[in-house]
Chain A
Amino acid sequence: MSPGDLYPRPAEGTWTEHYPELGTSEVSFQDSISPEFYRREQDAIFRQAWLNVGRVDDLPKRGSFFTKDIVAARTSVIVTRDGDGVVHAFHNVCRHRGNKLVWDESPTQETSGFARQFVCKYHGWRYGLDGACTYVHQEDEFFDVEKATLGLAEVACEVWAGFIFVCLGKEPRQTLREFLGPMVGALEGYPFEAMTERYSFRAENNSNWKVFIDAFQEYYHVPPLHTYQLGPNNRDPNLTFEGAHYQLDGPHRVVSTTGVQKHKWPPETMYPSEVLLRSGNMGPWDAHELAAEISGVNPGGVDRWGIDNFQIFPNLEILIYERNWYLSYRFWPTSHNTHVFEADLWFTPAKTARERLAREYAAITVKEYALQDCGTLDGTQLGLESEAFDSYPLNDQEILVRHFHKSVGDWVDAHRRALGDETLGFDPMAPPPVTG
């Protein structure tokens, strides 16, 4: 291959060959279409890895709580801030007869709010925000019941840079910081806490969760699919794109982009409303530039840095923009070919109506182009499920896709090994295990 030469690549000639464990061959996509592989991911990944379920912004004061349904892990968790300000997580299950403890209108919908205690709707058992059982209805009808032993089942919970993570494994194999590793961990110095103005989106998509993550971890698709990001006189589906820096660390990945900042482009390349509202797909133009020396940001030290796209295993993406805002995406599988997509846009609070309108236009823009991604996604899943071929080729700009699927496969294999199953590698031709 003779890749483009916009940005220097590693001595090996390509980003992919800089990480020889990735190989360069075609990649099987059975992991995106197989119900059996999804069952393995549920145990090997969603019940083992640290999962981001929210931010400290979701627990603004003592007594705040929210529930998070993690369908892939077959559970729901309650996350609380107790009377001492400590953040806890519990399985959202009453210790009596297993009723889902906290819900409002329907047990299949998440909820949040402020509480002094949780009361089970079924038999009235009560629990404190620290998970302790505080009341058993008709306690003297039970046999040697010890309330002190009947608290909610605690889930490992740690906070990093304001992001709340849980780990559903009995004993987390790594602390959250060990799991995040040095590349992601270095982002701790980013001023996440200053960005409290939030726009949230939710979508139910008809694809495997990884297929959508893949759409956000390469920019190769941008010129052909998002041709409309440039005004009608400047659309060219033959434009090319190169990421300026790619880096892997454990199961986590980052790609950084660079180029002329959007607000410095000639006005005739833009839409009239972008010029009028001074905002768009790179965010509000007049936000002050993020201090270049913030630790962890722009890990490749690229010139004219634009975006860091951190892909944090397994299902969290943090996109940090040069215009002083960030996006967080989470992808929650609900079956082998469906998932829930959650997106949050985070800005410093608007001080004027002009600033709020610029943020609104940025939030509108994110949804416009994400709808193109979501719409296309249905087609990708349908295409893959047809099994017209067995594997796909990936180019150097798709190195993160290659690394992600390898990381998922490695976790599934490691879990099988831990269970004493030495047959490594997923074999899509193997019959499903006998159950029942």
Chain B
Amino acid sequence: MTAVPMTTPMLPAEFADLEPFAATWCLADEPSRWEQRLASSMEDMRAFYDACFPRAEEAISYCDKFDVNALPEDASNLLNLLFSFALVSYPIEVWDQPEPVHTGNARIDRIREPRH
């Protein structure tokens, strides 16, 4: 992962250490996050997971300073990053591969979810 120094940060300044992952993982819906998960290497996902895990509690507390239904854009991005972290935790912690074990040809699409 390389940093993106010349563009406007997506995340609050307190989370600048996670900014290198923002362009890839601040995705607004589960279908995009799932697609990114399947397109990512285990190595990249582990780097993202390892960077996020120790910051997750602080990131949740940061988002909780706002109304969950009216988050400022950078906090909204941070929450989407946490959603991606939660999704990536499965390949890293559970399956040791991007897809669940025994998925075969199956596919399940998320077609509705709350928005923030």
Contact = CB atoms under 8 A, between A and B. Distances in A.
Interface of A: 197-206, 225, 228, 271-273, 276-277, 341, 343, 349-357, 359-361, 363-364, 367-372, 374-379
Nearest to A271: B93
Contacts, number: 122
Interface string B60-81: 1001101010010001000100
Nearest to B75: A353
Contact of B94 (A203, A276, A368): A368
B15 interface: no
Interface string B64-106: 1010100100010001001100110110011100011111111
Contact of A206 (B63, B105, B112, B113): B105
Given A201-B110, A350-B114, 6 more contacts: A273-B86, A353-B71, A353-B116, A368-B94, A371-B99, A374-B108
Given A271-B89, A371-B106, A376-B104, A356 B114 contact: yes
Nearest to B85: A273
6 contacts: A351-B68, A357-B82, A371-B100, A372-B101, A374-B104, A375-B105
Nearest to B56: A276
Contacts of A276: 53, 56-57
Nearest to A365: B90
Contact of B100 (A205, A271, A357, A372): A372
Contacts of A341: 108
Secondary structure of the A contact surface, majority rule:
helix
Contact of A357 (B86, B99, B105): B86
Nearest to A197: B114
B109 interface: yes
Contacts of A199: 110, 112-114
B83 to A, nearest CB: 5
A197 B114 CA distance: 7
Closest 3 interchain pairs by CB?
A374-B106, A375-B104, A353-B63
Contact of A353 (B68, B86, B108): B68
B106 A271 contact: no
Contacts of A228: 94-95, 101
Contact of A202 (B83, B109, B116): B109
A372 B102 contact: yes
A376 to B, nearest CB: 6
A201 B56 contact: no
A370 B108 CA distance: 8
A197 B116 CA distance: 12
Contacts of A359: 114
Contacts of A201: 108-111
Contacts of A368: 90, 94-95, 100
Contacts of A376: 102, 104
Contacts of A198: 112-114
